[in-house]
Amino acid sequence: MYKIVLKETLATAVVKMMVHAPYVARKAKAGQFIILRVHENSERIPLTIADYNREEGLITIIYQVVGKATMDLNNLEEGDYIHDFVGPLGKPSEIENLKKAIVVGGGVGCAIAYPIVKALAEQNTEVYSVVGFRNKEMVILEDEFASHSDKRVLMSDDGSYGSKGFVTTGLEGLLEEHKDIDCVFAIGPIIMMKNIAAVTRKYGVKTVVSMNSIMIDGTGMCGGCRLTVGGETKFACVDGPEFDGHLVDFDEAQSRNNIFKNQPAHSFEEDKTCQLLKEVENGK
Amino acid sequence: MANKTQRTLMALKDSKERITNFEEVALGYTLEEAMAEANRCLECKNKPCVSGCPVAIDIPKFIHEIKAGNLEKAFEVLSEYTSLPAVCGRVCPQETQCEALCVRGLKGEPVAIGALERFVADSHNGILKTVPSETKGIKTAVIGSGPAGLSCAGTLARLGYDVTIFEALHETGGVLRYGIPEFRLPKAIVDREINALKKLGVKIEKNVVIGRSLDLKDLEDDGFKAIFIGTGAGLPRFMNIEGENLLGVYSANEFLTRINLMKAYEAKSDTPLYLGSNVAVVGGGNVAMDAARSAKRLGAAHVYLIYRRSEEEMPARREEVEHAKEEGIEFKFLCNPLEILGNENQYVSGIKCIDMALGDVDQNNRRRPHEVEGSEHIIAVDNVIMSIGTMANPLIKTLGIDINHQGLIETNEVGQTSNLSVYAGGDAVSGAATVINAMGKGKQCAYEIHNEFMSKREA
């Protein structure tokens, strides 16, 4: 059992938790994820490691309430326990030898993008960040991105905060300005990562995306998280979750993430509050 | 006993009733049946059956105790050799192991050794009165809680070592938990045998992935003097044909994990499972049988078992094939998938297959199947479950010990890896094999670890 030592709401339905998980904290690196199971009958869901504290054995996760599993998690409070919490899983981000990089985060994907920005900044890579949100209410980690980036561009779909528009616009601006970017990291909804990859392909800049497939074990045992990269089948949990954005079949990945969408408890609609949550909000 | 050439049959649940649930199919012997069957054993002096058992159980000795109705004694005999008798009595392919060498089998049916082992284990709570020998205070780590790890841990604990098992999943048992379904191996049995290990002092750390959460160096730093790796061969194979990433295509591992480990078939479970009414399972091993029979129990109207060779070549246990037939699984022998077809929403709509014919014998002494030209046909299905075997887990590569070209761990004849305080056994070394072979290796490695410490002590 894994104790929740802190719970904090960051934005509408976006919550940060710090969990005591010493085995995970001992080895965690940027780009890796955990799998948790809230209760005995809950499903296993993957969440990226947003931060860690090795000395105190703590792992920070940031999640958006999008379905039953995240809603059950959200019903736990500080001092409560998560039934199972395993990791770190997946390969760490490859960030060595980068002089200049751009990190793009969309919505709750910013929670995954932030540790990469931080790790890049710590190794003295010149790092620019582009973060995008639906509106002002959804903005998270604003100060964290600002303090670790050489420049931060904040976008909102409706223009209620920062610049109006999608992250692709902010990214294009930076790419026009800087012709010597070594790598772009893009993390967010699949459609966003697909669009980012289309932009960077034009500029010929290497692009790494973090894929959020449906997972069960997270250790390479089942292939539920498989996707096509450069024409080959890869397992996101052990071969990734980061892949070359110019080689990923995003349409297939999008379709595979929709397999359970008709089951009431399993809405994988990205960046949208699911029906279940709406019902809760409406007091049904 | 009037007829000593035939074995005592075990009662089975009726096939019509049993496909409506996941309860155990074979019901086990009563005391009378067990004693009658035990009496068929001739108690041969040279005990050929024992050499067919990978953990060399003294079979006539435990059967001798059943004849006298002395089940406690019979259990003690079994426990000297095996940590999981209730499991092995159920899932071992006895027909190719102990029972294949039984003298009774020369003129009739061999003694039902597996059924007797199961009977003894089931009549007992699994916990021995005897405590482990003096504790040595030597920390040993076992990685993986499948049959190899459980057997190694049990043996080490009995020899007096301080044992900790590290398991990646949230439940112990490996394939016994996520792979073999309830109707063949009730999970309560697995729990009981694992509880018996805990009673021996074995500690279990779940949710720890070796190669990610911990590496071998961490274990050495934490004071573990010997390490056994029994991580299995869990990475599923796919055919690399068109359509394999469509919605509704599962590896057998994913399908069975959702069912067995996550209990997706129970209303209280949150884990989803998408299953239509027509299901194709590709493969001919025990895992394929398990997947097909599970699909039937989940209400599929038609379950097709597609296998590229003929019934004779099927690697699955005879008993499981018979049970599958009784339950209405539709076998498509000499049939091989070419492509999986999908609808406009990317869901599976059918599987395109071709008929096969058996040709010349290959170097493995199996007749090689080849395609029959012009025999392509489509079977309408909603799901395809790929059950064509597994490979080494890629996390093994991160451990810094020697692996072979197949990604399996290299060991010497006593199970030692290129890191001399690290041993390995089971599917992680051999590739996918049987529960009892994994147990045999786990037990062997435990004795090797023990010998190593004993010789150090004397030196």
Please tell me the distance from the alpha carbon of residue A207 to that of residue A102, in angstroms, as a whole number.
9
Residues A130-189 pLDDT 10s: 999 999 888 899 888 988 998 898 999 998 888 888 999 999 999 999 999 999 999 999
Q: Give the model's pLDDT for residue A272.
A: 42
Going by the DSSP 8-state scheme, the letter that residue B26 receives in this structure is: B
CA angle at B16 for the pair B116 and B314, rounded to the nearest 5°: 60
pLDDT at A269 over 70: no
Q: Classify B458 as helix, strand or coil.
A: helix
The whole-number pLDDT of residue A284 equals 37
- Output the average pLDDT for chain A: 89
Contact between chains at A27 and B272 (C-beta distance less than 8 A): no
Test mutation, A20, A222, A262, chain B, max B CBs within 10 A: A222
Q: Which residues in chain B come in under a pLDDT of 70?
A: 1-3, 129-134, 457-459
* B343 reaches A (C-beta below 8 A): no
pTM: 0.92
Contact status of B434 with chain A (Cβ, < 8 Å): no
Nearest CA in chain B to A251: B346
d(CA A173, nearest CA chain B) in Å? 36
Residue A77 is which amino acid?
A: E
Residues of B in contact with A42 (CB under 8 A): 270
Interface of B with A in 190-209 (CB under 8 A): 206-209
* A265 touching chain B per CB within 8 A: yes
Q: How far apart are CA B265 and CA B283, in angstroms?
A: 23
**Residue A132 in contact with partner chain B when CB distance is under 8 A:** no
B137-170 confidence digits (pLDDT tens): 899 999 999 999 999 999 999 889 999 999 999 9
pLDDT digits (tens, 9 = 90+) for B336-386: 999 999 999 999 999 999 999 998 888 877 788 899 999 999 999 999 999
- B208 and A86: CB-CB below 8 Å? yes
Predicted local confidence at residue A267, as pLDDT: 43
The mean pLDDT of A104-108, rounded to a whole number, is 92
pLDDT at B1: 47
Whole-complex ipTM? 0.89
Strand, helix or coil at A279?
helix
d(CA B390, CA B428): 11
Whole-angstrom Cα distance, residue B77 to residue B73? 6
- What is the token pair recorded at B146? 């499948």
CA separation for the pair A147, A160 (Å, rounded) = 22
